[in-house]
Amino acid sequence: MATTLQEITLTQAIAAAPSKVYAAFTSDFGWVAWCCERAEIEPRVGGSLHIYTQGYNAYGQFKSLERERVAEFTWDGDGEPPTLIRVTLEQQQYGTHVSFKVTGTGPQDEWDGIVEFLERTWGRALRNLKAVLEAQGNPA
């Protein structure tokens, strides 16, 4: 069975400073505020992350961190193929432009149904991140 490289990129404009968006991906309280019930985060290259919500677990490891610019980590969620996620932040006049890239490899048939699922799930999560940070009234 052929192995294929799959990538999806989602973007989101958030009226919040890059420091606030970066913290959402690199701290326990940040993840809990927008994505999960519990989080255990070691925000350093090689550090681990564990996200838990409603019986779902995801584990990963930070591969690259550039303060207020990049958070890259592996993601191995229950029932999903392992992926690499790269979050790139760019300060804009309104706040922060977020580029959220998910990359994975595996057999094509394994990815046929998962791409739409990942787009829908991460898209909803990024909209929630936007709502949470903007409700906090964080100035850009």
- HEC profile of the chain: CCEEEEEEEEEEEECCCHHHHHHHHHCHHHHHHHCCCEEEECCCCCCEEEEEECCEEEEEEEEEEECCCEEEEEEEECCCCCEEEEEEEEEECCEEEEEEEEEEEEEHHHHHCHHHHHHHHHHHHHHHHHHHHHHCCCCC
For the chain, which residues make up each domain, given as ranges?
Answer: 3-135
Q: pTM value?
A: 0.91
pLDDT tens readout for residues 10-32: 999 999 999 999 999 999 999 99
Of 3.40.50.720, 1.10.10.10, 1.10.1060.10, 3.30.530.20, the CATH number of 3-135 is 3.30.530.20
Could you tell me which residue, 139 or 31, shows the higher pLDDT? 31
pLDDT tens readout for residues 76-114: 999 888 899 999 999 999 899 999 999 987 777 777 778
> Of 1-5, 111-115, 123-127, where does mean pLDDT reach its minimum?
1-5
CB 115 within 8 A of CB 5: no
